[in-house]
Structure 1
Amino acid sequence: MKKIILSLIATILLVPASVRADEGMWFLMFIERLNHRDMQKMGLQLTAEEIYSINHHSLKDAIVQFNGGCTAEMISKDGLVLTNHHCGYDAIAELSSPEANYLKNGFWAANRKAELKPKSLFVRFFVRMDDVSKRILSKVNDKMTEAEREAAINKEIALIEKENNEGGKYTVSVRPFFQGNEYYYFVYQDYKDVRLVGTPPENIGKFGGDTDNWEWPRHTGDFSMFRVYADANGNPAEYSPNNVPLQPKHHLPVNLGGVKENDFAMILGYPGRTNRWMPAGGIEQNVKFAYPAWVEGSKMGMDKMKTHMDQSDAVRLMYASKYASLANYWKNRQGMIDALTKFGTAKTKAAQEAKFDKWANQKENKEKYGHVVETINKYYALTNEKARHDNYLMTMLRSSAFGTISRTMGRQLENYAKADEAKRKEMYPGLVEMIDEFYKEAYIPAEKDILAGQLNLYATKAGYTLAPMVEKLGKENNNNFTKYVNNAFDNSVFASPEKVKAFLQNPNATTITNDPLVVLSNDLLNHYNAKSEVIAKAQNDFGASFRLLVQGLRDSKLASIKYPDANSTLRLTYGKVRALPADKRNDAKVNNYTTMDGMVKKYKKGDEEFDLPVRLMEMNKAKDYGRYADKDGSMHVNFLTDNDITGGNSGSPVLNGKGELIGLAFDGNIEAMAGDVIFDKNLQRTINVDIRYVLWVIDKFSNAKHIVDEMTIVK
């Protein structure tokens, strides 16, 4: 890796100044004013109206938020949806069993009746947005505390949402931007009848596993397919066999022409979170305190899960999704530590803040901005150790199903016990379903190991002020929590689904209140949410100062950023297909794509991450690529662009200048892992699945040509 980075830095010095990544995650409503001319120069052939229109169908009508955390796109007139394999992972795992393991072996519906409905899955269409900054900010003043300010804003937000939801037809969300200096509302329509159409086997969809995650060269077929259903009138409806495929306002045509260096590429999607305005102190806190704890806590949870997952296919399915989520963040946070440290990002931010502080203390600015930087730095100094503590505790709660049991199942069982007989009868079916769902993903021997291991890690590494019960138990048991956890489960209502269901027949609220796992969970959660008066005051002052910092940086023209941070609202980013320096690990002629030949070279028989289907290797040996081969005769698998994306963009369509689908975004490169905080125009890359490989897997490898036939194909 060191040699690669040194080679990359050397190459950067030779790159012409005109070749650059285009920073920014832009609002669609401002494309005409801010970006359209630049995009046209780079290769866009669409008008701004064809990208975003309220009154006519446009590209935005083909882009959906997928289950609240990813992006997907409509690719047929009959509601076919394409997203990443890792975005559909939860639903695929839920629908799988040891006997019908779709996660491992793949699945393709032979017809629409064979499509599978997971219990909970939705897509969200974007309808329109508008600026309500003046309206909301007119309700606040500088004398308010942050809590008072938030209450006033939330009151106005509730009114705006009610005014625009058309009696519940739409979901309306008002979101802050530029750290609360601007506000916009977004109108959405949700569809909840979404069914699995197909997924490749895991050794295609997740090829490379954790080893290749965030790495290039990459050879991952990270895609899955679903279909959106509606009632006979095209309106959202709960699942029904009478529902029909949705006829979307717009679906993306699929281009089989492939890509080459410097081709225009734009991505529309729902980036989750960036922190490009974060102060230097926040970056330093993450690198030295928060992220190391996150990394270590995640690894602890992963290791404990893996021990049990390796012993049983059933347990592996139980924990597949949770493990994948922990592993993704584990590698991401370590990559962030390395990248932010290597490139001295905190120092860069500190230099900017020094310039700001000088401007802020000029006579005309001093009253408003003079103490901003000082207040922000005091806050981080006060909370550094707490950040480390909170991240150890947070990773315990994320990895242990029983760490939060008091707030999930415990609270509902207590309410059930306190209810009268009629209310209990009403609650009973829902509780039985909840119990069954919970224990479908909770293997008690694994849960005991996870909880005991995380308690030990927290007690020995978190520092600061530990949760009182954990501190007491640690002193009594020399921080060995295994015996305590085993006893807690032995004496808990929650030790098995049978014991919980038995409780429903003879409920007693005190039993839940005194349950040892509930007592522990309450101790952890109460401590995690506790806030001293000193911390509360510091947070109040920090919130106001951070908002002023962003406002001042914009007013003083010291900030080069012209766009707000990502916050799961629809954005557009544009750039080009762009190679990284030559890499001997990649057999491609240009290091902006990978091939199936390169994938086969990584093959390791029986390996969890690098095994491959025999059929794929046989077809590759025969060069049986059909119409999906590149003009050079090879099968392209993944390719690189320099688009500005982040988590939440997973599953986003990569489009050419005509708005045609050429790929599917699924990852970034680890060298640019600091991208959530600071954009590096030389290092930033997006890793995409070539759409031709997607179609090859569906059509040629899986013999599901009927699914490709319903798409609009452009040659």
Structure 2
Amino acid sequence: MIKRNILIASAFFSFSLGIAQQYGGMWIPTELNEREMKDLGMKISAKDIFNTQKPSIKDAVVQFNGGCTAEIISPKGLLLTNHHCGYGQIQSHSTVQNDLLTNGFWAKNNGEELPNPGVTVDFIVDIQDVTDKILQGNSNLETAQINANIQKVSAEINPAAYQKVVIKPMYYGNKYYAYIIETFKDIRLVGAPPQSIGKFGSDTDNWVWPRHTGDFSMFRIYADKNNKPAEYSKDNVPYVPKHYLPVSIKDKKENDFTFVFGFPGRTTEYLPAIAVEKIMTEIDPARIAVRDVALKTLDEKMRTDDATRIQYASKYASVANYWKKWIGEVEGLKKSNAVQKKKNYENSLAAKNPAIKTTIEQMNKLYAEQAPYALNNAYYSEVVRNAETLTLANMFYNFVSAFDAGKMDEKSITSFKNRLSSFYKDYNAELDAKVTAKLLALYANKTASQFLPEGFTEFKDESKNIINLEKISKNSVITGRSNVNGASLSENIDKAFSNQENLIIALKKDPVFLLFANVRNAYMKTADPKYSSLQTQIDALQKKYMAQQMETDKDRKFFPDANSTLRVTYGQVKGSSPRDAVSYNYQTHLAGVMEKYVPGDYEFDVPKKLIDLYNQKNYGIYKDKTGDVPVGFTATNHTTGGNSGSPALDAKGNLIGLNFDRQWEGTMSDINYDPRFSRNIMVDMKYILFIIDKFADSKWLINEMKIVK
């Protein structure tokens, strides 16, 4: 009886958190669940969110630099995104003498705003369902024909000269949508708090709630004199948007409606149970193990050397981000009993449609056969990605292959040289020799012998690797520590490339090049062909399984997995109870920052001015009913990577927060959304405005905005 009551209570708990969010949802903005959104409290209409006939909220939401989201918050193109989304740009303007990461940056007028070559923002002008034109009534159309149809449809749409068309598959290729995109290329840094605010809590608090991070930075979009996209020019002017978001500083209450509008990166909500089990027990643990070694090695150096800390700050944060996410994902999948939940769903579908049983059995067989190859793929990919010396070697391997095949023209060589220049800027060959040595030892010890190069067991000893890798690194052209054509690649790329034939000869003899080629060739021979072949078969079955789910489960409203396209997710402001006897409020405050404050600590130090503001209670209009400044809050919005920087909006479409993270216990929502644990984390707009106004003395930026009191 006790057990039965627990089950009933658990079921009621899930139900009470929000009927509309049983499966979460990242909805295409042209196909919103408007009725459910209004049932939960939304006061505006779907046409206020996405409309091609008049200004709407979508005109204020952009994809920032291809990976994050940002939003326009003033009629002068002022852009708000996360501190961690702008981190690379803040770092690029930083030096040991002028450390903007540590000190922050605030332009006092338009003339002081800093250009960022290569940074872009993308507006979605329109979304069109083009499934019929692409598939032509045949869901099993050959890939070559689909690609030909995509090219044809893209040409027929015929966008303006400053626009482009991107056609994306949805539901594993069962549907296709065309996105008309407008890209702006003159994006300037306006303001960023010091990382003691913008990155407060750093790696310790990453993916964790309660959270007290002021994770925001500010940029501005510039356009030509006709308000059209243009390359950077001193003659460009601030962009005038079709719509910008009013900023609300009203207090929040539990169960308030909220929605998040942005560009979520990737989810896989419709995988079979066997795939989820492999991720949980094999793939994620392998990825975690590789990054664990890399991060510990980098951290030892970064803590003792400021130049290395600045040089590797952005890269370290990037590596650590998914390392911790995967740890939480594994725990969350176990806690939410995701594998059994998937199995139960598969059985219920098969009872309605016997063909699904056959599909599941086929996928189970393929995943089991692929398992050893998939595990090797995970280790190999992560080692090459996180050992920068091997990353460089991979880049040069591809360059040599293309050169030998006659595919490197002057334009390609210039592009490659630019990539190298960017890479070497933040590359420490001596430090990475240690990282590479340790990762090769891990690879040699964790990889089945059938996948290793002949004689590779000599790399199992980490201490010997460190000595050997330092030696070959010193004698390597690739690492920039040995010259070619009288120059080092890391110091004078143009001179090193002055005689390309000599460079190619040197590369083919290079000890790092030969080491990488040995590892790569073994992987490509023993693992990749089988892994890729099986994955192709799995993908075809996944497409079939997706179609079967949608045909069979008539009670469920489906949304497509995230794929970096514009989406809306919605929910309610809520706290959580992720573990026994643990309950979290939905809101944190400035007092919590001071509770975590550790003087001089690289994660939990606090600027003196913020301490003074706190002690003086100099909060202005930015305090809430408690008398304190709200810092962060949580809600049940279904978000993922790419939603960083997304606007969190209230029932009337006003900006109330800035999405930047998820609660650790719910990071498995990329695979299995569970309303009991899944919470997105947002910076409260009151805290952002408080920092801009009181801390940064940048009221000129506040004056640009429309504040809703």
Q: TM-score if structure 1 supplies the norm length?
A: 0.90
2:670 is the counterpart of 1:669: no
- The one-letter amino acid of 2:375's match is R
Moved more, 311-320 or 435-444: 435-444
- The one-letter amino acid of 2:29's match is L
Moved more, 317-326 or 155-164: 155-164
C-alpha contact (below 8 Å) 1:25/1:645 kept by paired residues: yes
Per the alignment, residue 484 of structure 2 pairs with none
- Following TM superposition, by how much is the alpha carbon of 1:252 offset from its aligned partner in structure 2, in angstroms? 0.3
- Following TM superposition, by how much is the alpha carbon of 1:110 offset from its aligned partner in structure 2, in angstroms? 1.2
Structure 2 counterpart SS, 1:129: strand
2:539 is the counterpart of 1:543: yes
2:345 is the counterpart of 1:345: no
**Following superposition of structure 1 onto structure 2, how do residues 101-500 of structure 1 map, counting pairs within 5 Å?**
101-138=99-136, 140=138, 142=140, 149-166=142-159, 168-361=161-354, 366=355, 371-409=358-396, 411-412=398-399, 433-463=418-448, 465-468=450-453, 471-475=454-458, 478=461, 480-496=464-480, 498-500=487-489
2:568 is the counterpart of 1:572: yes
Give distance in 2, aligned partners of 1:12 and 1:642.
17
Structure 2 counterpart SS, 1:667: strand
Per the alignment, residue 3 of structure 1 pairs with none
- The one-letter amino acid of 2:377's match is D
Unaligned runs of 5+ in 2: 1-5, 482-486
Moved more, 7-16 or 642-651: 7-16
- Following TM superposition, by how much is the alpha carbon of 1:630 offset from its aligned partner in structure 2, in angstroms? 1.0
C-alpha contact (below 8 Å) 1:71/1:648 kept by paired residues: yes
Per the alignment, residue 641 of structure 1 pairs with 635
Give distance in 2, aligned partners of 1:543 and 1:14.
35
C-alpha contact (below 8 Å) 1:20/1:681 kept by paired residues: no
C-alpha contact (below 8 Å) 2:59/2:242 kept by paired residues: yes
Per the alignment, residue 690 of structure 1 pairs with 684
- The one-letter amino acid of 2:572's match is K
C-alpha contact (below 8 Å) 1:271/1:568 kept by paired residues: yes
Moved more, 331-340 or 43-52: 43-52
Give distance in 2, aligned partners of 1:225 and 1:446.
33
Structure 2 counterpart SS, 1:371: helix
- The one-letter amino acid of 2:365's match is K
In structure 2, the CA distance between the partners of 1:177 and 1:414, relative to structure 1 (3 Å rule), is closer
Give distance in 2, aligned partners of 1:277 and 1:464.
34
Per the alignment, residue 3 of structure 2 pairs with none
2:596 is the counterpart of 1:602: yes
Give distance in 2, aligned partners of 1:519 and 1:582.
50
In structure 2, the CA distance between the partners of 1:524 and 1:603, relative to structure 1 (3 Å rule), is same
- Following TM superposition, by how much is the alpha carbon of 1:178 offset from its aligned partner in structure 2, in angstroms? 1.2
C-alpha contact (below 8 Å) 2:643/2:660 kept by paired residues: yes
Choose the corresponding residue for 2:56, options 58, 64, 73.
58
In structure 2, the CA distance between the partners of 1:662 and 1:446, relative to structure 1 (3 Å rule), is same
Per the alignment, residue 25 of structure 1 pairs with 26
- Following TM superposition, by how much is the alpha carbon of 1:258 offset from its aligned partner in structure 2, in angstroms? 2.4
- Following TM superposition, by how much is the alpha carbon of 1:156 offset from its aligned partner in structure 2, in angstroms? 1.2
Give distance in 2, aligned partners of 1:301 and 1:536.
27
C-alpha contact (below 8 Å) 1:389/1:464 kept by paired residues: no
- Following TM superposition, by how much is the alpha carbon of 1:109 offset from its aligned partner in structure 2, in angstroms? 0.6
C-alpha contact (below 8 Å) 1:322/1:399 kept by paired residues: no
Give distance in 2, aligned partners of 1:373 and 1:15.
27
In structure 2, the CA distance between the partners of 1:38 and 1:442, relative to structure 1 (3 Å rule), is same
Deviations 1:581-630 (A, max 9, x none): 599999x9x81101111110111111111111121112111111011111
Structure 1 counterpart SS, 2:643: coil
Choose the corresponding residue for 1:511, options 506, 523, 527.
506
Give distance in 1, aligned partners of 2:97 and 2:17.
56
Choose the corresponding residue for 2:72, options 66, 71, 74.
74
- The one-letter amino acid of 2:516's match is S
C-alpha contact (below 8 Å) 2:191/2:217 kept by paired residues: yes
C-alpha contact (below 8 Å) 2:444/2:460 kept by paired residues: no
- The one-letter amino acid of 2:358's match is H
Give distance in 2, aligned partners of 1:11 and 1:518.
56
Q: CA RMSD in A?
A: 2.9
Choose the corresponding residue for 2:617, options 615, 623, 632.
623
- Following TM superposition, by how much is the alpha carbon of 1:244 offset from its aligned partner in structure 2, in angstroms? 0.8
C-alpha contact (below 8 Å) 2:171/2:546 kept by paired residues: yes
Per the alignment, residue 707 of structure 2 pairs with 713
Deviations 1:52-87 (A, max 9, x none): 111211000000011111111000111100011111
C-alpha contact (below 8 Å) 1:652/1:665 kept by paired residues: yes
- Following TM superposition, by how much is the alpha carbon of 1:449 offset from its aligned partner in structure 2, in angstroms? 0.7
Moved more, 104-113 or 155-164: 155-164
In structure 2, the CA distance between the partners of 1:660 and 1:167, relative to structure 1 (3 Å rule), is closer
Q: TM-score if structure 2 supplies the norm length?
A: 0.91
Give distance in 2, aligned partners of 1:614 and 1:633.
21
C-alpha contact (below 8 Å) 2:578/2:676 kept by paired residues: no
Give distance in 2, aligned partners of 1:327 and 1:650.
16
Give distance in 2, aligned partners of 1:264 and 1:543.
37
Structure 1 counterpart SS, 2:259: strand
Give distance in 1, aligned partners of 2:581 and 2:622.
24
Choose the corresponding residue for 2:675, options 676, 681, 705.
681
Give distance in 1, aligned partners of 2:71 and 2:446.
44
In structure 2, the CA distance between the partners of 1:18 and 1:409, relative to structure 1 (3 Å rule), is closer
Structure 1 counterpart SS, 2:634: strand
- Following TM superposition, by how much is the alpha carbon of 1:652 offset from its aligned partner in structure 2, in angstroms? 0.7
Give distance in 2, aligned partners of 1:173 and 1:192.
18
Deviations 1:441-474 (A, max 9, x none): 1011111011111111111012263342xx5243
In structure 2, the CA distance between the partners of 1:192 and 1:705, relative to structure 1 (3 Å rule), is same
- Following TM superposition, by how much is the alpha carbon of 1:347 offset from its aligned partner in structure 2, in angstroms? 1.3
In structure 2, the CA distance between the partners of 1:275 and 1:414, relative to structure 1 (3 Å rule), is closer
Moved more, 490-499 or 642-651: 490-499
- Following TM superposition, by how much is the alpha carbon of 1:270 offset from its aligned partner in structure 2, in angstroms? 0.7
Deviations 1:285-305 (A, max 9, x none): 111110001111011111111
Identity %, equivalent residues: 37
Structure 1 counterpart SS, 2:31: helix
In structure 2, the CA distance between the partners of 1:558 and 1:346, relative to structure 1 (3 Å rule), is farther
In structure 2, the CA distance between the partners of 1:713 and 1:477, relative to structure 1 (3 Å rule), is closer
- The one-letter amino acid of 1:448's match is A
C-alpha contact (below 8 Å) 2:312/2:426 kept by paired residues: yes
Give distance in 1, aligned partners of 2:449 and 2:143.
29
Structure 2 counterpart SS, 1:403: helix
- Following TM superposition, by how much is the alpha carbon of 1:12 offset from its aligned partner in structure 2, in angstroms? 8.1
- The one-letter amino acid of 2:381's match is M
C-alpha contact (below 8 Å) 2:134/2:153 kept by paired residues: no
Give distance in 2, aligned partners of 1:439 and 1:534.
35
2:529 is the counterpart of 1:557: no
Give distance in 2, aligned partners of 1:98 and 1:699.
27
